[in-house]
Amino acid sequence: MLSYRHAFHAGNHADILKHLAWLGVISHLKRKTKPFVVFDTHAGAGQYALNSDQAQLNREYDSGITRLENVQPASALLSDYMSVVTPMIEAGIYPGSPGLTVRTMRGQDAAHMMELHPSEFPALQTNLAPFTTAQGQSGSIHLHHRDGLEGLVAMTPPTPNRGAILIDPPYEVKNEYKQVADTLKAVFQRWQNAQVVVWYPLLSERAKEKAELCLNMVHEISALGKNCFKAEFTITENTHDAGMYGSGVCIINPAWQLDEHLTQSMKEVCKAMGPEAGFSLEWLKQEEA
């Protein structure tokens, strides 16, 4: 089943948390000049026009990125994020995870982006064409029309083995939670120092079965690396019928101080979002150095 289209949700609260976390991971990788390799298993179309029919349907960006328009970021991570996003928003576009990656990676780095949807993949190719056809500065960008979880297992560990993975499935079907956990178990057998960001929805009692599958997934993947934390961003109260009341990212093998950088930036985001917004970060595994 491939009915999910990210254009309906581009720039919403979940994108802000996920993209801040992903940018935080890339920023830490860039602290060393050594090259890195990143994988985006569910890439989407790369970027989204906010005046499209899909984005206009519920205008989810209005309760997301639009709220950050007048924020003067104090934290380094939010500042990095806004410096990429603001000029794009001014042009009526919100970047997806591939759009952020290609604008932040360096000439020595590589990215593998996977997308299975028959119309999202050509859109990804078109949207990233200025970067995939340019030589040098954008690094080595590879777009794959394939199943992202299967592709991840096939392409890891990369050379060099310094790098990170973003897993951002639509979770349309219940077994996606287990597929993510099983995939990461296979990946960690061969690539123990992978940094991983897994996005997940926070679902209320109404979607109890999926919420429990999600909890199990987070529990299982949190054991795979040396360290792991989860960071959750809520935008409304978790009542029985709230549906998706927020979202989270589970970060395996996070770089040193990523927790602090994410917390500082999300505090600023929460303030801009209004009184109902909340953020929490919890370490799930911490091995002694």
Binding residue count for ligand SAM, defined by CB under 6 A? 19
CB of 52 to ligand SAM, least distance (A): 14
Q: Where are the alpha helices (DSSP H) in the chain?
A: 13-29, 53-58, 76-90, 97-104, 120-132, 148-155, 175-190, 208-222, 258-273
Q: Is 4 in the site for ligand SAM (CB under 6 A)?
A: yes
Per CB under 6 A, the list member of 7, 25, 29, 42 interacting with ligand SAM is 42
243 is in an annotated binding site: no
Separation of alpha carbons 136 and 132, rounded Å: 10
Please give the structure tokens belonging to residue 83. Answer: 């410096």
Neighbours of 257 (CB within 10 A): 11
Q: Which of residues 96-125 bind ligand SAM (CB under 6 A)?
A: 96-97, 114-117, 120
CB of 287 to ligand SAM, least distance (A): 29
Pairing of strands 47-49, 278-286: unpaired
Question: 3-class DSSP state for residue 249?
Answer: strand
Please, which residue, 13 or 117, has the CB nearer to ligand SAM? Answer: 117
Distances (CA, A) of 11 to 206, 262, 276, 280: 25, 18, 19, 21
Using CB under 6 A as the criterion, what x/- string covers residues 43-72 for binding ligand SAM?
Answer: xx----------------------------
Please, which residue, 48 or 188, has the CB nearer to ligand SAM? Answer: 48
Please, which residue, 169 or 254, has the CB nearer to ligand SAM? Answer: 169
Please, which residue, 148 or 248, has the CB nearer to ligand SAM? Answer: 148
CB of 168 to ligand SAM, least distance (A): 4
CB of 184 to ligand SAM, least distance (A): 14
Catalytic residues: 168
The residue range among 67-75, 154-162, 166-174, 222-230 that interacts with ligand SAM, by the rule CB under 6 A, is 166-174
Q: What is the DSSP string of 136-177?
A: STT-EEEEE-S-HHHHHHHH-S-SS--EEEEE-----STHHH
Taking CB atoms, the residue at the shortest distance from ligand SAM is: 96
In the block, tokens 């079965």 appear at 209
Distances (CA, A) of 69 to 42, 46, 96: 27, 21, 18
Q: Which residues contact 21 (CB under 8 A, 6 or more apart)?
A: 197, 231, 249, 251, 262
Provide the residue count of the chain. Answer: 289
Q: Which residues contact 265 (CB under 8 A, 6 or more apart)?
A: 20, 24, 73, 75, 76, 77, 78, 81
Please, which residue, 146 or 226, has the CB nearer to ligand SAM? Answer: 146
53 is in an annotated binding site: no
Q: Which of residues 170-229 bind ligand SAM (CB under 6 A)?
A: 170
Binding site feature residues for S-adenosyl-L-methionine: 19, 42, 97, 115, 147-148, 168
Q: Which residues here bind ligand SAM, judged by CB under 6 A? A: 2, 4, 6, 18, 42-44, 96-97, 114-117, 120, 147-148, 168-170
